[in-house]
Structure formats: C-alpha cells, structure tokens
Structure 1
Amino acid sequence: MSELSNHLSEASSDQYNICFYGAGSMAEAIVRGLINKEVAKPGQISMINRSSQERLDFLHSTYGVRVAANAQGKEELLRESSILVLAMKPKDAGEALKALGPLLSEDQLIISVIAGLSINTIQALLGRKQPVARTMPNTSSSIGLGATGIAFSPEVSEERSQQVLSIFEAVGLVSVIPEEQMDILTGISGSGPAYIYYMMEAMIAAGIEGGLSPEHARELTVQTVLGAASMMIQTGDDPALLRKAITSPNGSTQAALEVFEAAGFTDTVKAAVRRCAERSREMGAAVEEALS
C-alpha cells in the first residue's frame, strides 16, 4: 500500500468517511479503485443520488458501500462525511449545492468531478469558502488507467491535498495544475481517448479494406496502440525518437508518414486539441451562467 494511501486507510472510519453525491459510472469507477487498491474500506464509503434506489442497491450489494433510502438518511451521510465527492450532472448541481451548503462544517473537503464548474462557482453556490478540489478524470479511470487533472482552492490543506491525490491515484495517473489550465487538460487527456479511438477506427477499416478479417484488423490495431504506449512508458524516450527508430529512409513507414504530413496531420491534431479546450470553456461558461 502506498504512503499516500495510508492517509485514508490507516485512519478510523469515523474520521475519514467519503460520500459520493451522485452514483454514476465515474463515481463507481473511483469507488472500485479505492476498494481494490485498499485506499479505503467499503464501510468508509457512502453513495447517494437523487432518485434511483435500484442503482444504490446495486452499488451496495456489489461493493459493500453504505447507501441511504430516504432524505433523512442522505442528510446524515452528507453531514458525517469528511470528504464529499460531487458527481452529479451539471444541470442538477445548482439546486444540490445550495441545499448542501447549510449542512457542511468548515473542515469538510469538497471534491468535484463536475465538468465545467469552477471552484468559485462551487463555493458561491455553497454560500461558503469550503475547501474544494476540482478534478477532470477521463473514461479510462473505469479500468484503473485514467488520467486526472486536479486544481485546489487556497483553503485545501497539504494533508487534504494528499488525500485527494490518494483517491485519484487509485484509478490512474494524477496531474496537479492551476485551475486555468483545466480546459487545455480536457483537450489532451479528458477527450484524448476519443482521438485515439478515432484513429483506431480508421486503421481497422483500412485493414479490412486491405483484406484482413475484422477480427485480425481489430486485434492488430489494439496491440499496436498498446505496444506503442508501453514503449514510451518503459523506455522513457521521446515519441519523435521512437518514430525515427522505425522509419527507414524511403521505406514503407516513411511513405505512410509523408501522407500524414501532406494532410497536415500535426496541425490538425493541434487544432483539434485547441478546439476541444475552447469548447470546454464555452460549455463551462454555459453551465455557470445557467447556475448563477
């Protein structure tokens, strides 16, 4: 178990209770990671949502976490939590946070996984300067290989920040960044898996068109992407160096790369990342305007 994990797991469940307000797929992924990595025990974790008791019953039976069946029970779980993870939909955040504010004590830590909602807006909706960690995980968190960006409000102590890192290291890699960089992080890692899947779709299609079976085209493409990523991790080499190592002058790889270059591949990818970041800012502004 890591040193960071000990911040949660060695503490008593009375001192460290983590409540997930929202019980969707991302909340479930984080809970699964916390339990599997022994960062927290099931009894330290509670989950609530707006209306679906069936969903809560499933999570309770699958992971052993605590749930509440009525409003009084939900309020008790919220009050007793030392860490509260906001995982509801953005459209539900305004009403939920305004109602939540009066229930909180000053030392309760808020972790938000709500896209587009700034720390200032969260604090304004709560009506208090609560310690807040704003996060942006990606979908690979569901298999423990996520990439999460985290920004902290000034109210978050060093001890609390280590607890947040411990939680998200349970589902992958963590980068602490200034909040103003959250949109460009979204353009890289938040939406990044979709870019890779898009290229994989094209590679599979080309393989099938070239005569491979769909199964072989898929298997070869998946293994190629996995191998390339693993090579970067294991060697620590720059991708340009790894690319050059397999690109012989006037060879087949060089011919393929020239097609990419002629199509403006690098500029297109950069433009896509920038547009994603820009759209993230637009969506965040719309969320905040709707909630203000």
Structure 2
Amino acid sequence: MPIDTDTKTIDHIQSLQIAFYGAGSMAEAIARGMINQKLTQPGRIAMLNRQNADRLTELNSQYGVQTILQGSSNEAFLKEADIVFLAMKPKDAAEAIAGIKPFISEHQLIISVIAGLSIASIELLLGRKLSIVRTMPNTSCTIGLGVTGISYSEAVTKEQQQLAEAIFQSVGITSVVEESYQDVITGVSGSGPAYVYYFMESMIDAAKAMGLSETAAKELVTQTVLGAVEMVRATGEEPAELRRKVTSPNGTTQAALELMSQKGLAETIASGMKRSSERAAEIGADIERSLKK
C-alpha cells in the first residue's frame, strides 16, 4: 500500500532525478522502497559505484535502475541528479565525497546515510553550505520496516524536508531529531536489529542445548519474538506491563527473569547501546581529524 504522503510531494519526487553514490544494501533498500511505493520510476534512479560491474548489472536487472553500463557516466549522473545520496562506507567517505565535489551544485539535495559523518564535515568536503540531510537508517529498511533518524542542515527547505521524509517513510518510519542526537539514534535503532538477533541466537543455542532440534529451536524462538513484538504494537501497552502480565508470582517466568536480572542483563543492554553510540561519535571524529591533516 502506498505511504500516506500528499499528492504534491509524490508528484514532485516523480519529476526528479536521483543518484545513489554507493550501491550497497542500504542504497538498494531505499531505492527498492521508492520503486515499490511508486514514489518514482526505476529509470529516474541511478546507482553508482567505483568498480563493481557485477553489482551494477544485478541492480539494473532486478530493479531497472540506471548504471554506467547503460551508457552514461558517474559524472553525468551526478550532475543531472536533483537528489544525491551519499551511501559509501564510512572509511571511504572522505575521499569519495571530495572526489565528487566538482559535480555537485547548489540546487541539489544531498542525503547522507553514512554513520558518524556530520553535516559540517560533508560541507567541508564539498566546499560550501548546501542542502544536506543526515540520516541513520537501519537494515530493516530492506523489508520496509526500518527506522530512520533524520537531521537537516540550515539550507534545507520545508519542501526538501517533505521530500526526504517521504523517501524514508517508503521503507519504514522516521524520526526527525537534532543532529546532536544522531549518535544516540545509532545506538538505539541503527545497531538495534543486531541486538535482537543476538538475543535470538542465544535463545536458539539454549533451546538446542536443552534438547530441541535446530529447526524446532529456530521456529519456536522466531515465532515467540514475532508474537511479543506484535503484542506491543497491536495492544499499545507498555512492554513492562505486558511482561508483568506474563510473570506469575513464583512461576517459571519470574524464575527466569530474576536470574537474568541478577546476571545484569538490563545493564549489559544499556552499556552496549551506549558503546554503539560512542563508536558512532568516534567514527565521525576520525573522519573530522582526517580532514584537518
């Protein structure tokens, strides 16, 4: 079902050329979401990378997006784009963004999905103040259930904000935050899916150790997590209240939760989230230091 975006914004997006500089899984997820939600036509999307022709062939074949293999060049795609996504790996970001500086102009909207890279650093690399959107999506965007934190530079117009939010709402929900909170978003939802997968891994391993087959263990854990998440969504109740309803006095659940609490599960989760946030800040600081050399 199409997202709840006003017709004017959809019409505007459909008239724009979009270039992804970086053709990894996140760029693919966003492009697929836009195509599936009919925000734009595949021919208006260009996917660019520096050397992986096989990847470009795959993307063109699967989605119908444009690549250099259809006869144009990275430079031409960038110059013609109304929206440019910066989707390269953080370690490659400084060099790559500096390299495309000659092809970026003031009329374009720049959207970054690079963890830790600040708006100020992007402006420094591109040599001027521009309309820049800093985002932190997570991998659940791949199935349309993502979470994306969004922050704007001062130059971003209201119309451009609506464009950015419509794009990311095509792959999940959005949360507009002050840029100073982007590292927190990383610790909460950017890295968050991995915490859930790790918890599921632990439950599956424990179930197998207690005698269940791997197939049964995975099926039971997956459905248990799915059901618990859906209960929160469907009932609107707080997780703490739902937990209390499951926990009978002196029962099996209470026994398990008491031991998990004694082992410091809550503190471990909080410490891990904090460390993820700190690491995002460190990545950004490393990039900024490299720019000053």
Q: What's the TM-score, normalizing by structure 1?
A: 0.94
Aligned counterparts of 1:8 and 1:38: Cα–Cα separation in 2: 12
Aligned counterparts of 2:278 and 2:254: Cα–Cα separation in 1: 33
Residue of structure 2 equivalent to 1:147? 147
Distance change (3 Å), C-alpha of 1:66 and 1:12: same
Q: 1:221-277 CA deviation, whole Å, 9 max, x = no partner? A: 001111111111111111110000111111111111101111122222111111111
Contact 1:46–1:66, Cα closer than 8 Å, also in 2: yes
Distance change (3 Å), C-alpha of 1:71 and 1:131: farther
Residue of structure 1 equivalent to 2:269? 269
Contact 2:42–2:65, Cα closer than 8 Å, also in 1: yes
Amino acid aligned to 1:193:
P
Contact 2:13–2:40, Cα closer than 8 Å, also in 1: no
Structure 2 unaligned spans of 5+: none
Aligned counterparts of 1:285 and 1:28: Cα–Cα separation in 2: 27
Aligned counterparts of 1:214 and 1:56: Cα–Cα separation in 2: 37
Residue of structure 1 equivalent to 2:5? 4
Residue of structure 1 equivalent to 2:94? 94
Q: Which segment drifts farther, 47-56 or 76-85?
A: 47-56
Aligned counterparts of 1:46 and 1:189: Cα–Cα separation in 2: 28
Distance change (3 Å), C-alpha of 1:228 and 1:40: same
Q: 1:118-150 CA deviation, whole Å, 9 max, x = no partner? A: 000001100010110011111111111111111
Distance change (3 Å), C-alpha of 1:45 and 1:7: farther
CA shift, 1:283, in A, is 1.9
Structure 1 unaligned spans of 5+: none
Aligned counterparts of 1:55 and 1:122: Cα–Cα separation in 2: 26
Contact 1:8–1:16, Cα closer than 8 Å, also in 2: no
- List aligned pairs for 1:120-131, cutoff 5 A: 120-131=120-131
Residue of structure 2 equivalent to 1:178? 178
SS at match of 2:84: strand
Q: Which segment drifts farther, 199-208 or 85-94?
A: 85-94
Aligned counterparts of 1:49 and 1:85: Cα–Cα separation in 2: 12
Aligned counterparts of 1:41 and 1:9: Cα–Cα separation in 2: 12
- List aligned pairs for 1:71-86, cutoff 5 A: 73-86=73-86
Amino acid aligned to 2:40:
A
- List aligned pairs for 1:97-116, cutoff 5 A: 97-116=97-116
CA shift, 1:69, in A, is 4.2
Residue of structure 2 equivalent to 1:53? 53
Distance change (3 Å), C-alpha of 1:28 and 1:103: same
Contact 1:5–1:38, Cα closer than 8 Å, also in 2: no
Structure 1: 4+ residue segments shifted above 6 A: none
Number of residues paired by the alignment? 291
Aligned counterparts of 2:72 and 2:94: Cα–Cα separation in 1: 20
Contact 1:21–1:86, Cα closer than 8 Å, also in 2: yes
Residue of structure 2 equivalent to 1:192? 192
Aligned counterparts of 1:98 and 1:134: Cα–Cα separation in 2: 17
Q: What's the TM-score, normalizing by structure 2?
A: 0.94
Percent identity between matched residues is 50
